[in-house]
Amino acid sequence: MRRILARGVLLVLLAAPVSALSQTTEPPPALPDLEQPVVEPEAGADAAPADGAIPNRTIETGADAPRMAEAPLLTVDQERLFLESAWGRRAQSALEEKGRKIAEENETLAEQLSAEEAKLTEQRATLDPAEFRKLAEAFDSRATTIRRERAQAVQDLNTAADADRTAFYQAALPIMGEMMQERGAVAVLDLRTVFVSLDAIDITSDLVRRLDDRLGDGTTGGGGN
């Protein structure tokens, strides 16, 4: 799927290792653990560029300098546009809440599997080897299923977040076009792709206000999830 810009939210699966039940069986797969959603630092105009990224800078106009009412080119910080808008704040809050729920569920399941593993380990001395192997294989199969289901839950959450962000930019484009025409511009560029620009042509803050007025938080008539 084509991404409009780098995602502001990342959900990462980390392996919480579950020790092997015995040397006669394969180690049960690790149960995924979900970190809290992480908000990437906002891409400011003078932020240090990532490896291979284009360095850029925004030059501030002096207090006594007239701000340009019109300019052939305008810039917008796409990441700020989303994260500072009512739509983006709503989406981020919902994403973090769902992420917390998944993390709590993962922790509960990890504790359950750990307890089951400990119980099987204790039973090994009294069980027939064939019976123990049967129970260990059943445990391994269940752990594998749980890991797959939890990974799918994270993937579904990320997919929904991407879809909501894409819907935001699709809804924002016509409004951005209106502002472009009002200011006599022929194009709006992503601020991060511009080497040097004046802050007078950055329409991010003005556009956020207009989007909030027209789209709200994206839940009523704006196409949000």
pLDDT range class, residue 110, cuts 50, 70, 90? very high
pLDDT digits (tens, 9 = 90+) for 22-42: 344 444 334 444 344 443 444
- Averaged pLDDT, 50-69: 66
Amino acid 89: pLDDT: 98
Amino acid 146: pLDDT: 96
Taken in order 193, 197, 201, 206, is the CA torsion positive or negative?
positive
- Averaged pLDDT, 15-25: 37
Burial of 31 (0-12, 13-18, 19+ CB in 10 A): buried
Amino acid 60: pLDDT: 78
pLDDT digits (tens, 9 = 90+) for 131-152: 999 999 999 999 999 999 999 9
- Averaged pLDDT, 52-78: 76
Q: Does the structure show a pLDDT above 90 at 62? A: no
Q: Does the structure show a pLDDT above 70 at 153? A: yes
- Give the DSSP per-residue string, 3-31: -SS--SEE--EEEE----S-TTSPPPPPE
